[in-house]
Copies of this chain bind each other. A is one copy, B any other.
Amino acid sequence: MAGSWARLTESSAAVRFIDTNLRGSGQVMLQDNPLTGLLFLIGIGWSAFVSGSPQLAIGVLVGLVVATCTAIGLGVDRTSLRSGLFGYNGMLVGMALSIYLTANPLLWAYVVFGAGISVVVMLAMVNVAKTWSIPVLTAPFVLTTWLMLLGSYNFTAISLADVPPPALPSTHAIASAMPLDSLALVNAALFGVSQVFFIGNAITGVIFLLALLVSSRWAAAYALAGSVLAIAVAQTLGANSDGIAAGLVGFSPVLTAIAIGTMFDTPRPRVVFYVAAATIFTVITQAALNSALMPLGIPVLTAPFVAVTWLFLLPLRKLVL
């Protein structure tokens, strides 16, 4: 089936365009695989359906397609384009803006503009990051979304919907740090995977793990292990149990585990140790950035994943793991 799809992408420009977009979706978790991307979209669609928020699915599709079209229009490198590298940031920008901002006609113009900008930011960051042979990961999404959300504080026609108001960090902010029961833990582990797309839904989490599995069994294994490890670390350090239960400590560590883990052929003990250290540090970095961004009233998004993965990828050429 994969073979006939590949043939179709060669003969039909329309199928090729769809394939490029699906790969863009898959690249959110670093998979250059159209089936993975399709399953991601199905998982998102399921969540949008059961939660009655079509806005979310629309934001995702608009962001993805606009970003891909912008990249084509700008005449970017064809190999990168076809791998979906110019779609995933726009997809995430579209999703984040349609979640954190109130829906109105201007919002959709804002989403279209942001998805287009994400391509320029991607090109700029790739140019800088290639100096050290590292990928830019979701940094273009994070930067673009932060600026567009922060900017909205000064715009009456664009309103923040679902963000806690700016406040100074406080050690008294933690409502409760209690152990979770078994069911809550299983849910939390699945939510950690689904929250990569801002979704707290166990079925979506399962679909996302399947989506990874069809592309790479190690990617799926690292994702699940990363989510579980993040929960264990957060519980040990006494993080807010509501946040743990909602999967909010897991989504960046999940991505870190996939990104670092799949750099290696096989998970040898030393590799597992290195990936685990990166995953644990992502939990701490996420808590840190939560504090750092609290006065600005914007979410950390996947910045902890980006920062820690860069820190752990940059030394790799010098190490023998």
Contact = CB atoms under 8 A, between A and B. Distances in A.
Interface residues of A, number: 73
Interface in A266-316: 277, 280-281, 284-292, 295-297, 310-315
A292 B120 CA distance: 22
A157 B236 CA distance: 7
A289 B151 CA distance: 7
A3 interface: no
Interface stretch (A8-16, A35-43, A123-131, A189-197): A123-131
Interface stretch (A25-33, A48-56, A167-175, A220-228): A167-175
Given A287-B154, A292-B296, A123 B319 contact: yes
A288 to B, nearest CB: 4
Contacts of A123: 314-315, 318-319
A254 to B, nearest CB: 18
Nearest to A169: B153
A263 interface: no
Nearest to A140: B311
A177 interface: yes
Contact of A315 (B127, B240, B314): B127
22 contacts: A75-B320, A76-B318, A76-B319, A120-B277, A123-B315, A124-B314, A127-B317, A127-B318, A146-B288, A150-B288, A150-B289, A150-B291, A150-B292, A151-B288, A154-B174, A156-B174, A156-B237, A158-B237, A160-B171, A166-B168, A168-B168, A168-B295
